[in-house]
Amino acid sequence: MNDVNKMNKQSWILFIGILLIGASLRAPITSVGIALPSIKESLLLSNTSVSLITIIPLLSFAAVSLFAAKISHRYGLERTVFGALMIILIGIALRAITDVSWLYIGTILIGVGIAFGNVLTPGIIKMNFPLRIGVMTGYYTVVMNIFGSLSSYVTAPLVKQFNYQFAISLIGVVTLIGIIVWSLQLKKHKAVKQVASTDTINVWKSPLAWQITLLMGGQSLMFYSLINWLPEFLLSEGVPIHEAGLYLSILQLAIIPLTFVTPIFAEKMKNQVALTFGTGLLFMVGILVLMFMTRSAIIGIILIGIASGLAFGLVNTFFGLRTEHAHTAAKLSGMSQAVGYLFAAIGPLGFGILHDVTHSWYASFSILLVTAGLIMFFGSQAGRNRTIEQTL
């Protein structure tokens, strides 16, 4: 907190701009889930068409993350992020048009814009606040999660009071403010200055990069699998529908405080091996509680929520801590999120297929147990105090 208080006026404007980026990176997606029944009814969509609306953003994240860093290196981080916010705003506007084609086009554009923001914001923090990576990452990630949760919460009453078009477009106001604030950064834009060798750094060849990617991919697979299937699992175990919905909310709420405090404390630690190992252990214990102690499901859900917050906070902090240059941070972020969101897209699919084939939840949950084990024994090595550049 003291570090933030010491910032000058320009740094404060940049800080607010970073928070507004975070506010626009999850809310446009989380608002749609609640509005899907209304969208389906208004546009006469099939279940398959509705499913595509939820998968498209994740696939966009995975695809665009591969080349976001390269584009930013050519045009500069500030300009590229400004363009990303513009793309998100255009996508929000197009998505609200009462037409199936515009719904899909808008959703794709939102996914593309968010992917750029996800990948490049850690690089911006690394470049502008190299001595405050933890606290800046903490504020950025907690704002992202708060606005994501808030968007889910307010969408239902807005759909009921007005219509789905208004409900899923309201976040565009925040994105527009972000564009206005971020435009101030374009005035100070200058060509990206990096050590020449950073151009040739291939993060895909770094064992450390793969360890961080495993942490990112693992937590994504678990989070999105549970977001999609936890209610149905609980219903099959006799948990009432209203209680299952409450548990899902608790899972997301448990994440928020940890996404804030984890980067701050992680940055001050000599290394984060034990913390990352403990994250995998919490995932494993939480999953075992869900599998074998369903009456105590709330305990397992809270443990998984804590682990998800730790993992998300750690991986975003590692983008800055484990690199020496902003452009390398963007490359690492791009790699981790490309693989991570691919896991997020296929994880729930595999979870559902295994349940359909075996008619049991144990096989599905075994995927999560294996993933937790991989985080414990391999992902935890991302906590060692070294950089990508040192490993290549």
Buried/exposed 284-305: b ≥16 CB within 10 Å, e otherwise: bbbbbbbbeebeebeebbbbbb
Q: What is the mean pLDDT of residues 109-120?
A: 94
Q: What is the pLDDT of residues 208-224, one digit of tens each?
A: 999 999 999 999 999 88
Percent of the chain with pLDDT over 90: 52
CA 213 – CA 221 distance, rounded (Å): 12
- Helices 133-161 and 9-24: angle between axes, nearest 10 degrees: 50
The burial of 238, by beta-carbon neighbours within 10 Å (0-12 exposed, 13-18 middle, 19 or more buried), is given as exposed
In tens, the pLDDT along 301-325 reads: 999 999 999 999 999 999 999 999 8
- Res 241 pLDDT > 50: yes
In a 13 Å sphere around the CA of 28, the CA atoms on its Cβ side amount to 39
Residue 193 has pLDDT above 50, yes or no: no
Q: Three-class SS of residue 163?
A: coil
Name 96's Cβ contacts closer than 8 Å, sequence gap at least 6.
106, 165, 166, 168, 169
> Model confidence at 154, in pLDDT bands (50, 70, 90)?
confident
Position 7 scores a pLDDT of 66
Confidence of residue 295 (pLDDT cuts 50, 70, 90): confident
Whether the CB-CB separation of 172 and 90 falls below 8 Å is answered with no
Q: What is the pLDDT of residue 232?
A: 82
238 torsion bin: left (phi>0), alpha (psi -120 to 50), beta (else): left
Cα separation of 46 and 54, whole Å? 13
Average pLDDT of span 68-77? 88
**Sole residue written with tokens 């009921």:** 160
pLDDT at residue 38 in the model? 86
Q: How many CA within 13 A on the CB side of residue 125?
A: 32
Arithmetic mean of pLDDT over the chain: 88
